[in-house]
Amino acid sequence: MIKVNIKNNQIIVTGHADYADYGKDIVCASASSIVITSINVCLRLDSQSLEYKEEKDKLTIDIKSNDENIKSIIENMISMLEELAKTYKKNIKIVKEEDR
């Protein structure tokens, strides 16, 4: 299962959807496309807007900008991932942690 943990200005995406075999998994491909496209748009608008780190089965995004356009892109990314999770409940889960 893909898990998307959202807390403050950090988003961590881990796991694999396990919807289908590697290379044929439409859920994993969709989630990857959503996230990578969003990262690329943010960086194209402002190269300092975020930092990301890719590791095996883990992607960490640290949002550095308070710009409204960047916020909108990130909100849109989360919204698209939530829509994907509604359709594929067994394959992707979104967890939003509140500030403490």
Mean pLDDT by 10 residues, the chain (100 residues): 96 95 92 97 98 96 97 98 97 84
| First and final C-alpha spacing in the chain | 27
What's the whole-model pTM score?
A: 0.92
In this prediction, residue 100 carries a pLDDT of: 46
pLDDT of residue 14: 97
User: Does 71 map to a domain?
Assistant: yes
Q: Which structural domain, as residue segments, surrounds residue 16?
A: 2-95
CA distance 20 to 64: 35
- Cβ distance 100 to 10 under 8 Å? no
Domain harbouring 71, CATH code: 3.30.70.1490
Domain assignment present for residue 14? The answer is yes
Structural domain includes residue 100: no
For the chain, how many structural domains are there in total? 1
- Asked whether residue 81 is domain-assigned, the answer is yes
pLDDT at 73: 98
